[in-house]
Structures are given as C-alpha cells and as structure tokens.
C-alpha cells in the first residue's frame, strides 16, 4: 500500500486537522492541491502513507467528459492556505469522515486491472503512463489507485504483520453485490461469500485481501 486517504467533510475540518498535527510537531510530507481536491500527506509511525483531504465542489470535476483527467497535476501549496480555513478548536476526527481512497502497490498491472475492472466492476478514470491507474465506482475521481512496482518489492500482507491487513469496500445494495458475484464467476476468480452476513472475501492478484459488505 502506498497510502490511504481520510476524506474530511469540509475546508475547516482540514484546516483544524493540519493545525492540530503541526502543534503536535508531526512531520508533514507536503500540502497539495489539484482540480478535484486539497490535501496533505504524512507517514504514521509504521511508515504507512496517510492523506487527509477534502473534495472540491463536484460540479468542477463531475464526469470524465467534463474533467480533464489527462492534464491533472497536483501542485504543492503553502500550508497556510489550509490552516487559514481552520475554525474553532480541534475536537477529534469529525463526524462524516470516510476513507476516500486507497492507493495499492501491484506487481502486474494487466492482471490487477482485469481483477478490479472486470471482476469488481470499477471504471478506469485515468492512466498515468504504464505504472499508475486510478479506478472509481461511478464518476468519482478515484476510490482505488494502482501503482506498479517491482515484483520483489511487493509486500504481501501476512497474519500478525504491520501495515495493510485488508481493504473493506462498502456496497450500496444487494444488487451491487450480486453483480460482483456474477462478475467473479464469469472471470473464474475464487472468492468466499457468507450469504447470511452478506460479506464477500476475495484476494487480488497481488495477495491483497478485499472484504466487500453492504453499507
């Protein structure tokens, strides 16, 4: 895993979070902005990449036909652009925070693309050369990022190991679950499905476990 992103509700929450971490002396990797989001990065004590972000108004990037994905570039900005929007005092992770996306390291881009697109039903929103893809459900900017690295550098999650354990994807309804089950059978991808609890477990070509459940 390269990083995962906490998606905060608004600019004030992002400002409060950055200001709070600065006061704690937490090293910040950088503060950035692109056409669809504003965010900052850091590493947790175990070296996992962590991002805190807010989405800009969806009207500015609502669909692939309206948004120029191919020319999207994140630029570094002054931290004050974010902290100036802080309001009130930090009071913990705000209600409404979600995991916006996760960027995963993969050893085989073709096999990974087939799994996530044809197996799980994600769409490809952008391809950055031959070593990076951004996948999404619907017309969101991305829920999953795939980054190609050397096969010997891929860390397969192990029991009782630190780092990524599994990725939990929340589906809106049973129809979505049934469609994915049909896709997995069609692609002959092995999976485990608990019908009583409506939980699907499947492993991607890189050994990353995914748990799919209903929201």
pLDDT tens-digit readout, 129-149: 678 899 999 878 899 999 998
- What is residue 111's three-state secondary structure? helix
Residue 2, φ and ψ in degrees, nearest 5 = -80, -50
Does residue 71 sit within a domain? yes
Question: Is residue 207's pLDDT more than 80?
Answer: yes
* Residue-level pLDDT at 132: 87
* Residue-level pLDDT at 57: 80
The first and second tokens of residue 128, run together, are 């950055």
* Residue-level pLDDT at 95: 96
Residues 18 and 60 in one domain: yes
Residues 31 and 116 in one domain: yes
Does residue 161 sit within a domain? no
Does residue 157 sit within a domain? no
Does residue 159 sit within a domain? no
CB count in 10 Å sphere of residue 20: 16
Residues 30 and 107 in one domain: yes
Question: Is residue 168's pLDDT more than 80?
Answer: yes
Question: Is residue 26's pLDDT more than 70?
Answer: yes
Residues 122 and 24 in one domain: yes
- pLDDT tier at 93, thresholds 50, 70, 90: very high
Residues 52 and 99 in one domain: yes
Residues 183 and 121 in one domain: no
Residues 142 and 190 in one domain: no
Domain count, the chain: 2
Does residue 156 sit within a domain? no
Question: Is residue 174's pLDDT more than 60?
Answer: yes
Q: Check which CATH number belongs to the domain holding 144 and give it.
A: 3.10.180.10
- Mean pLDDT over residues 61-84, rounded? 74
Cβ-Cβ contacts under 8 Å for 176 (sequence gap 6 or more): none
* Residue-level pLDDT at 88: 84
* Burial (CB count within 10 angstroms: exposed 0-12, middle 13-18, buried 19+), residue 40: buried
Residues 80 and 109 in one domain: yes
Domain limits for position 172: 166-214
Domain boundary among 148, 177, 192: 148
Does residue 155 sit within a domain? no
- Using an 8 Å Cβ cutoff, are 87 and 1 in contact? no
- Using an 8 Å Cβ cutoff, are 116 and 146 in contact? yes
């Amino acid at each position: 895993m390269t990083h995962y992103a906490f998606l905060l509700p608004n600019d004030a929450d992002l400002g409060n979070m950055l200001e709070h971490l600065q006061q704690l002396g937490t090293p910040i990797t950088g503060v950035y902005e692109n056409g669809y989001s504003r965010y900052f990065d850091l590493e947790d004590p175990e070296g996992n990449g962590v991002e805190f972000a807010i989405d800009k108004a969806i009207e500015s990037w609502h669909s692939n036909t309206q948004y120029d994905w191919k020319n999207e570039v994140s630029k570094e900005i002054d931290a004050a652009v974010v902290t100036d929007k802080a309001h009130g005092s930090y009071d913990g992770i705000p209600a409404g925070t979600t995991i916006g996306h996760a960027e995963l390291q993969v050893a085989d881009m073709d096999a990974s693309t087939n799994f996530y697109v044809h197996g799980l039903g994600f769409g490809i929103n952008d391809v950055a050369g031959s070593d990076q893809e951004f996948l999404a459900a619907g017309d969101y900017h991305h829920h999953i990022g795939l980054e190609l690295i050397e096969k010997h550098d891929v860390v397969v999650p192990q029991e009782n190991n630190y780092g990524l354990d599994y990725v939990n994807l929340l589906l809106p309804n049973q129809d979505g679950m049934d469609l994915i089950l049909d896709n997995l059978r069609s692609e002959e991808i092995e999976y485990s499905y608990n019908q009583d609890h409506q939980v699907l477990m499947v492993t991607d070509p890189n050994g990353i476990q995914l748990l799919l459940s209903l929201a």
